[in-house]
Amino acid sequence: MGFCKFSKFSFLFLISILFVSTAEENARHGNDRVALLSFMSGVVSDPGNSLEHWNSTNVHVCNWSGVSCNHERDQVVQLDLSGRSLKGTISPSLANLSSLLVLDLSKNFFHGLIPPELGSLFRLKQLSLSWNLLQGNIPSELGFLHQLVYLDFGSNRLDGNIPASLFCNGSYSLQYIDLSNNSLSGQIPLTSKCSLRELRFLLLWSNRLVGQVPRALSNSSKLQWLDLESNMLSGELPSDIICNMSQLQFLYLSYNDFVSHDGNTNLEPFFAALFNSSNFQELELAGNNLGGQIPPIIGDLSTNLVQIHLDDNLIYGPIPPRISNLVNLTLLNLSSNLLNGSIPPELCRMEKLERVYLSNNSLSGAIPDALGNITHLGLLDLSMNKLSGSIPDSFANLPQLRRLLLYGNQLSGTIPLSLGKFVNLEILDLSHNKLSGIIPGEVAGLRSLKLYLNLSSNHLHGPLPLELSKMDMVLAIDLSLNSLSGTIPSQLGNCIALEHLNLSSNSLEGELPGSLGQLPYLKVLDVALNQLSGDIPSTFQASMTLVAMNFSFNKFIGNISDKGAFSSLTIDSFLGNDGLCGSIKGMPKCRKKHPSHLVIFLPIMVTLLATPLLLMFVYPLVCKSKFRNRLAVVNGVDFEDEEEERKELKYPRISYEQLIEATGGFCASSLIGSGSFGHVYKGMLGDNTKIAVKVLDTKTAGDISGSFKRECEVLKRTRHRNLIRIITICSKPDFKALVLPLMPNGSLERHLYPSHGIGHGLDLIQLVNICSDVAEGVAYLHHYAPVKVVHCDLKPSNILLDQDMTALVTDFGIARLVRGVDETISANDSISYTSADGLLCGSVGYIAPEYGMGKRASTQGDVYSFGVLLLEVVSGRRPTDDDEGSSLHEWMKSHYPHKLEPIVNQALVRCSPGAMPTSCDKIWRDVILELVELGLMCTQYNPSTRPTMLDVALEMGRLKQYLGNPASMSTGEPSSKDVAHLITQ
């Protein structure tokens, strides 16, 4: 009986416990829902955003987008809403998510203050609010988060001091701290009472921090990444602190007020402190006014070192030859110091060097021939030194060289003919030296030059080489202050991209070619101090682009008007030309001539006699023109508009009827592609020319005329082997088409996703070559085209492949020309799109996130699209495949770097249609990993942190070369701060 009573009591007690426990769980579950709904009430999201499901009572809170729960008790343990374009404030109600372990609201547009209440989330391990618009102080209450491992408030607008409790809260778990790119002030609050022994990343760059690096940081012996650059820190370089950091890889102390030891005279203790860091990779000490010599022991640092930045300091003495022991170095920057002595020939042992900056020092002696053995060298800047002797012929052995800067030295001799062998050179600056002789035609004909050629202030003589006319992509040519003679070739008018031309202070004679005034983008012309004669051609006055001209001190004659391009000029542009007169202020007025009776009589007689003859020929032409225009109206063809466009674009005539015949009446069997702007048909002209006809759909494309003219404008102003060329146009009021060459291998999309036997898979070598071609083409649009262009719709279907599988970028219908005012507009500026402007967004999956926020089209947006393309090529996934609820970028980032093996293995299978030799396996793996890293760099959320398309093209070229010659690849690890951010997420 007693046992039964006890059992009954126990049963009732157990039931009551379970009831109370269940009630508590329900209450806690309800609290989580209430907290999240309260948070959402202060958030504004775009229509279609996944947060809309939060309002549904039918969806369990654990199934809400961005919310994760534990499986045992259905408690919210993770809230990850990063990169969702959310606006509003962060609600203190999040503090009621008592079981929260991860809170990530990064890469949004939250403003206001960080709620102090978040300090009550005692279980929190990861807190990321970076890349928002948060203001005010960092709450000291966050020091109560004793379990915190990861803290990221970078890239906000926070100010005030860093609370001491944040670093000194008794927590021994913190591994990652990022407070960079804010306006924080005061000292780094780390004292001897604090210990951050698990800390691996400390990023405080770009703030207003003062004082010395705290000695207590030496306890953080596991530190791998220390970035304190761009602050106002002072004191001696922290040698005694970093000597304990054996795992240190990246050290950035640039742009502070540090000094070296022994009264700013001794750098040796600092470099000796880095000996223990066996995996050290990057060192930045620029802009600190550091004194002392570079100690020879610098050569004893880790051979993993890939970059050294010591520029903009007060370092003196010679460059120690032992620095050449750093055989994996890719970048060496010692510019803007007080270095003297000669350049060590031993630098040639650093075979992986890609960029060398030694400018603005006092280096003397000859340029070592051995520098020509650094075959990966892409940039060599030896300018503003005291170098003498001749330019080495060995430079011709540098196939990757893009920029050679030797100006401001005492170099003599002639310009080597061997410089004409450069195939990638973009800048050649040999100005302000003592070079003599003629300008070699081989050098003048460098078609690869895209930025500028500067040979000014030398002792060059002889005529201007006709080969200069081959530089059809160069933006500036400066040959001033030499002894050049002869006439100015009219063929210089072929340099169609030229913006600046300076031929002043020479001995040039003859007439000034009118072709120079017809250059479509010429802004500045200086031909002063020569012996030019004759009239100044009217083309200069009629120019729509010239804004500065100098014709002074020549022998020009004639009447000068103050109209057109001359309206902004003063007498200073015409001084020293006694034969000039006109209406420019300060210029003598031209005398009016009094014609004789005979001069008046003759034209009248000629006119009277000629009129009947003229009428005989002109009247039929007028009638024919009227008849043709009347016929045009009957047939619905606006011939005047078409003639105007055709005259401007200078394309051959292909009639509408010819296009109908070529495409079989635009029948379905000729259709090879469709898009938002219309359809593309294949066809063949009567002369067997295969064509593709892009017919714009006037019913669905919105501002079809604008799109048509945009694409015509882009195609007519650009010329590059990786950009589609246009054959002609066909334009009627209700029909507009572009006629393009037919690409026999179709689009990249067809090969990435072959179906129904159409297309085939591409191997890795082909894919890298194609991506390299695309990068080169877009880099040209961004950096070198006469009118800079943002493509705005880069994707596989807009990449065509010719018979040699060379890639050509096409479809410029929504491209944005950025010449003029657009060049000065930040990518972060807001813009209210019209219906036509809205087309700038591009295609879903490839659109840069800032476009969704109403930002202007920018080159960074194209870089983002290219990054998506790289990730698509590697993964084999379309960016619109969201099976896992995340973008392609987020999906790939979630696997980087430790979960990439399955992706790499699948890529190897997919990109190896045939049997691949075992020896290639590692090489191809390396390339795939590099493509992933480059894709992630290009798709970073913040546009300003993405690389330029020029950098991307250089990297793709390096990978392309590596596949052909694996020994050429640098083994340095990724070196960007942004990569570090990717690694730690």
Give the tens place of pLDDT for each residue, 872-928: 999 888 887 655 556 788 888 878 777 788 888 888 877 765 545 444 667 888 899
Looking at the fold, whether 601 and 707 belong to one and the same domain comes out as no
Domain boundary among 612, 635, 658: 635
Pair 656, 732: CB distance under 8 Å? yes
Looking at the fold, whether 835 and 934 belong to one and the same domain comes out as yes
pTM above 0.75, yes or no: no
* Domain presence at residue 348: no
Residue 419 binned pLDDT confidence (cut-offs 50, 70, 90): confident
* Domain presence at residue 920: yes
Residues forming the active site: 793
Looking at the fold, whether 710 and 626 belong to one and the same domain comes out as no
> Token pair for residue 756?
């129904």
Distances in Å between the alpha carbon of 219 and those of 147, 168, 199? 19, 13, 9
In terms of Cα–Cα distance, which of 461, 464, 467 is closest to 419? 467
Looking at the fold, whether 631 and 725 belong to one and the same domain comes out as no
CA 684/CA 742 separation, integer angstroms: 9
* Domain presence at residue 527: no
CA 778/CA 785 separation, integer angstroms: 10
* Domain presence at residue 531: no
> Token pair for residue 583?
């209406």
Number of domains comprising the chain: 3
CATH number of the domain that 832 lies in? 1.10.510.10
> Token pair for residue 981?
């951010």
- Virtual CA dihedral for 656, 662, 668, 671, nearest 10 degrees? -90
Question: Residue 93 carries which side chain, given as an amino acid letter?
Answer: S
Domain boundary among 585, 605, 635: 635
Looking at the fold, whether 831 and 898 belong to one and the same domain comes out as yes
Domain boundary among 715, 742, 769: 742
Q: What is the model's pLDDT at position 718?
A: 65
* Domain presence at residue 495: no
User: In this predicted structure, which of 57-66, 611-620, 660-669 has the lowest mean pLDDT?
Assistant: 611-620
Farthest CA pair distance, the chain: 150
Looking at the fold, whether 737 and 853 belong to one and the same domain comes out as no
* Domain presence at residue 912: yes
In terms of Cα–Cα distance, which of 394, 438, 395, 396 is closest to 413? 438
CATH number of the domain that 677 lies in? 3.30.200.20
Whole-angstrom Cα Rg for the chain: 34
* Domain presence at residue 199: no
Give the tens place of pLDDT for each residue, 646-686: 444 444 677 778 888 888 887 877 777 766 567 888 888 87
What is the average pLDDT value for the chain, to the nearest integer?
A: 81
Range of the domain at 614: 597-635
User: In this predicted structure, which of 145-159, 670-684, 764-778 has the lowest mean pLDDT?
Assistant: 670-684
Q: What is the model's pLDDT at position 53?
A: 72
Q: How many CA atoms are closer than 13 Å to the CA of 288, on its beta-carbon side?
A: 29
Residues at the binding site are 694
Residue 976 has pLDDT above 60, yes or no: no
Residue 325 has pLDDT above 50, yes or no: yes
Contacts of 72 (CB under 8 A, 6+ apart): none
Looking at the fold, whether 645 and 630 belong to one and the same domain comes out as no
Q: What is the model's pLDDT at position 156?
A: 93
Looking at the fold, whether 847 and 953 belong to one and the same domain comes out as yes
CA 380/CA 144 separation, integer angstroms: 52
In terms of Cα–Cα distance, which of 779, 872, 862, 755 is closest to 814? 862
User: In this predicted structure, which of 536-540, 609-613, 786-790, 844-848 has the lowest mean pLDDT?
Assistant: 609-613
- Decide the pairing of beta strands 548-550 and 579-582: unpaired
Question: Residue 919 carries which side chain, given as an amino acid letter?
Answer: S
* Domain presence at residue 160: no
Contacts of 942 (CB under 8 A, 6+ apart): 107, 131, 155
Pair 871, 888: CB distance under 8 Å? yes
Q: What is the model's pLDDT at position 823?
A: 37
Looking at the fold, whether 851 and 712 belong to one and the same domain comes out as no
Looking at the fold, whether 815 and 954 belong to one and the same domain comes out as yes
Looking at the fold, whether 626 and 657 belong to one and the same domain comes out as no
Give the tens place of pLDDT for each residue, 692-745: 888 876 655 444 455 566 556 666 666 788 888 777 777 777 777 878 888 888
In terms of Cα–Cα distance, which of 625, 725, 738 is closest to 675? 738
Cα 636 to chain centroid, rounded: 45
Contacts of 706 (CB under 8 A, 6+ apart): 836
Residues at the binding site for ATP are 694
Looking at the fold, whether 813 and 934 belong to one and the same domain comes out as yes
Give the tens place of pLDDT for each residue, 783-814: 887 777 888 889 998 898 988 889 999 877 66
